[in-house]
Structure 1
Amino acid sequence: MESTLHETLSRLERCITEQGLSRSELLNPAILAERTALSEAVVLDLLQGGDGTPGGIEQRVTSRVRALTAAHLKRTGQRMTDLVSDVARHLEVSPRWTRMLLTGEKMPNVALLHHLASYFNVAGGEAFFTASPTDALNRELTTILLQYEPQEQDPLKALLAKHGVVAADLRLHGGPLSPAQLEQIDQIVGNVLRTILPLGDQP
Structure 2
Amino acid sequence: MIKLGETGGFQVDYTEDVTQLASPNTLFKYNAVVFFSTSRDALDDAAQTSLRQYIRGGGGFVGIHNAFGTEYNWPWYEGLLGNANFYDHGASQPGTVQTVERKDVSTKELPARWNFTDEWYNLVPAPTKVRVLAKVDESTLAKGVTGNYNHPGHGDNHAVAWCQYYDGGKSWVTTLGHDAKEFTTDGSFAGAAEFQKLVVGGIQSVSGIKPFCK
Pairwise same-fold verdict (TM > 0.5):
no
Select the structure that is richer in strand: 2
TM-score with structure 2 setting the length: 0.26
Whose Rg is larger?
1
TM-score for both structures, normalised by structure 1: 0.27
